[in-house]
Structure 1
Amino acid sequence: MTGVLLGAALGVGIVLLLSGWRHARRPSLESRVLPYVRDVHPSAPILQSGVAGAVLATAGHRLARWLDDVLGGAGSVRRRLDRLGHDGTVEDFRMRQVVWGASAFAGCAVASLVLWSGARTAALPLLVFCVAGFVAGALACDNHLSAQVRRHEERAAEEFPAVADLLALAVAAGESPVAGLGRVLRVAHGDLSHDLARVLADVRTGTPVSEAFLRLAARTGVPSIARFSEGLAVAVERGTPLVDVLHAQASDVRETARRQLIEAGGRKEIAMMLPVVFLVLPVTVIFAFFPGYIGLTMST
C-alpha cells in the first residue's frame, strides 16, 4: 500500500510538471496578443473574460454609443467628470448609464411578468413600462453624477478657508508656492485636497505653476476657488506677494460664507415660523385656557 501511494504521488507530480511545462511553452492567445493591442484598443482587457464577456462588452459599448447619440451632452458629462476629479471617460460613464438602465429594465420586466401572469395585462403597456424603466435608470445615473459634483464642490468650499490659511502660513515661512502646497497636502485631507493634488501633479510633470492653477480655475465650479486660483496664477506671474493674496482670498471666502448663511436664514424665515404658529402657539393657548375652562365647567 505504501508503494502504491508513493507511485500515485509521483505520477501526479509528473503530470503536474508536464502540464505546467506545456502551458509555459504554449501561452494563451490573450497573453500573446494583449500586450500589443492594449494601447490601441480601449476594450482590450475584455479578452481575459472569454468569448461571452467579449460579446457582452461589445454589445454594451454599442449601446453606450447609441445612448450618447440619443442623449447627447458629452461636453456636459466631460465637464462634470472634470469638476468631480474623475479620471474616467465619457464612454465609461455611458457604460455605467447602460448598467443602471439595464438594472431598472430588469426590475420592470420582473414586475411586468408578475402583472401579466396574474392579471393578464396587455403586453404593449408593459413593454412601454419596461422601456420607461430603462430611460429612468439612465437619467437617474446622470442625476447621481450631478449630485456627486454638487456635494464635492460644497465640501471643497467648506475646506477652502482653512487650506488657504495653511498655504499662506507656509509661504510666509519662506516656502515656495509648490513646496508650500505639498506641505499643506501632507496634513490636509478632503475634496479640495484632491483637486490641489492634481495641480501639484501637473506642476511636477513640467506644467508651469500659473498654468496649473489656471487649469484648476477652469475646471472647478466653485467661484471662490476659481478666483483664488486665478489670483495665485497672476501673483506667481507678476511677483505679487503671495501671503497678502492668500489671506485676502481666505477672508473673502469667510465673508461670502457668512453672507450666504444670512441670506439662507432670511429665505427660511417663513418656514421657521410654521412650527411656531401651528405647533407651539396652539399648545401654549391650550395650556393657558385649559385650567379656566375646567374651573368654569366645575362651577356650572
Structure 2
Amino acid sequence: MTAPLLGAVLAAGIALGLLELVRVARLRRRPSLESRVAPYVRDVTVGTPRPRDGPEPWTAGRAVFGPAVRGGADVVERVLGGSSSVRRRLRRLRSPLTLEEFRASQVVSGVAAFGAAATILLTWGLVADVRPLAGLVLCLAAGVSGVLARDVALTRAVQRHEERVAREFPSIADLMALAVAAGEGPVSALERVADVSDGALSSDLRAVVADVRTGRPLTDALDDLSARTGVPAVARFAETLAVAVERGTPLVDVLHAQAADVREAGRRELVESGARREVLMLVPVVFLVLPVTVLFAFYPGLVSLSLTTP
C-alpha cells in the first residue's frame, strides 16, 4: 500500500470516528429545562422567543470537544495571564463573553490557524519537499499567532467601540440638554434619549436605564458607567449627571459645554491626524509620481541619442 493511499484510509477512519462521536453525543443530549417547561407556561410567556425543537447548533461539538477546549483555555490562561486586563476590556466592550469563554475562543482561533497552516503545508508538500521539523515549527507559530490575534482583535474592538462612543457623545449630550431644558427630569430625559437614539453610547445608556428599572439607584448605575467606560468625556458626563441627581444642580449649560469640548477635541485630533499624514502623502509623490515624471522627461532624449549615435 502506497503512502498516499494509507493516508487517505487513515483520514477516512478518523472522519468516521468523529462522525460517530457526534452522533452519540446528539443521542445522549438531554432536553433543557426551558424546553421541558415552556409548553406548560406558553400562555404567560407571550413575546418571548419560542424554544428550538431540535438540538441547538454546536451542541454536539461542545459535548465532544468541550473538555479539550476548556483544558486548552486553562493552559492559555496560565501561560498568558492578564485575566484582569481581559475582564476590563470585555467590560468596556459590554461583551456577553466571560473570561473562560474568551480563552476558549482563543484556543479555537489557535487551532484554526494551526489547521490552516498544516493544510497549506500538506498541499505544498505534494509538489515540493517540506521538512517535517520546519513544517511543525511553522504550524506551532501559526497556532500561537492565532491565539495572540484573538487578543489583539479584542483590543481593536474596544478601541473602535470607544471611538464610536466619543463621536456619538456630543449629539447625545445635546439631546439630554434639550430634554432637561424642556422640563424633564434626569431619569426621564436619560430614558427618552436612550429610546430615540441608536449607537454604541445609546446601548450603554439603555443598560443604565435597565438597571434603574430593576430598582438600582441611578447614581450607582451612573457610577458603574463612569468606571466601565474608557472615554473620559462619558465618565465626566456620568459624574455630572450623578451629581445633578444628588444635589439638584442645573444640567443644561454643563451638558452643552461638555458637548462643545468634545467637538473641539475632535477637531484638534482631526487636524493633528492630517498633520501626521502629510509625510505619508509624500510617499506616492516621491516614489511613484516623481520617477514617472523623470522618465517621461528624459526618455525621449535617450531614444534620440541612441538613434543618432553611429
Report the TM-score, using the length of structure 2 for normalisation: 0.72
Deviation of the 1:162 alpha carbon: 0.5
Tell me, yes or no, if the aligned pair for 1:116 and 1:123 is still in contact at 8 Å: no
Partner residue of 2:198 out of 167, 189, 196: 189
Tell me, yes or no, if the aligned pair for 1:171 and 1:180 is still in contact at 8 Å: yes
In structure 1, stretches of 5+ residues that fail to align are 1-27, 36-44, 294-300
Could you say which residue in structure 1 is the equivalent of 2:214?
Answer: 205
Q: Deviations over 1:135-191 (max 9, x none)?
A: 111111111111111111111111110111001111111111121111112211111
User: What aligned pairs does 1:127-166 form with structure 2 within 5 A after superposition?
Assistant: 127-166=136-175
Instruction: Supply the AA of the counterpart residue of 2:173.
Output: A
Task: Answer yes or no: is 1:179 the counterpart of 2:150.
Answer: no
Could you say which residue in structure 2 is the equivalent of 1:63?
Answer: 72
- Farther off after superposition, 251-260 or 264-273: 264-273
Task: Answer yes or no: is 1:97 the counterpart of 2:106.
Answer: yes
Partner residue of 2:258 out of 228, 249, 270: 249
Could you say which residue in structure 2 is the equivalent of 1:269?
Answer: 278
How many corresponding residue pairs? Answer: 254
User: What aligned pairs does 1:24-63 form with structure 2 within 5 A after superposition?
Assistant: 30-31=30-31, 49=59, 53-63=62-72
Task: Answer yes or no: is 1:113 the counterpart of 2:122.
Answer: yes
Deviation of the 1:268 alpha carbon: 2.7
Tell me, yes or no, if the aligned pair for 1:156 and 1:191 is still in contact at 8 Å: yes
Task: Answer yes or no: is 1:74 the counterpart of 2:83.
Answer: yes
Deviation of the 1:122 alpha carbon: 2.7
CA distance in 2, matches of 1:98, 1:178: 43
Identity score, percent: 54
In structure 2, stretches of 5+ residues that fail to align are 1-27, 36-54, 302-310
Could you say which residue in structure 1 is the equivalent of 2:246?
Answer: 237
Tell me, yes or no, if the aligned pair for 1:232 and 1:245 is still in contact at 8 Å: no
Instruction: Supply the AA of the counterpart residue of 1:61.
Output: R
With over 3 angstroms needed to count, the CA separation of the structure-2 counterparts of 1:275 and 1:31, relative to structure 1, is closer
CA distance in 2, matches of 1:128, 1:282: 42
Tell me, yes or no, if the aligned pair for 2:76 and 2:103 is still in contact at 8 Å: yes
Higher Cα Rg, which structure:
1
More helix by share: 1
Tell me, yes or no, if the aligned pair for 2:226 and 2:234 is still in contact at 8 Å: yes
Q: Deviations over 1:237-291 (max 9, x none)?
A: 222112122112111111211222222233333334555667778999999x99x
Root-mean-square deviation (CA), in Å?
A: 3.2
Report the TM-score, using the length of structure 1 for normalisation: 0.74
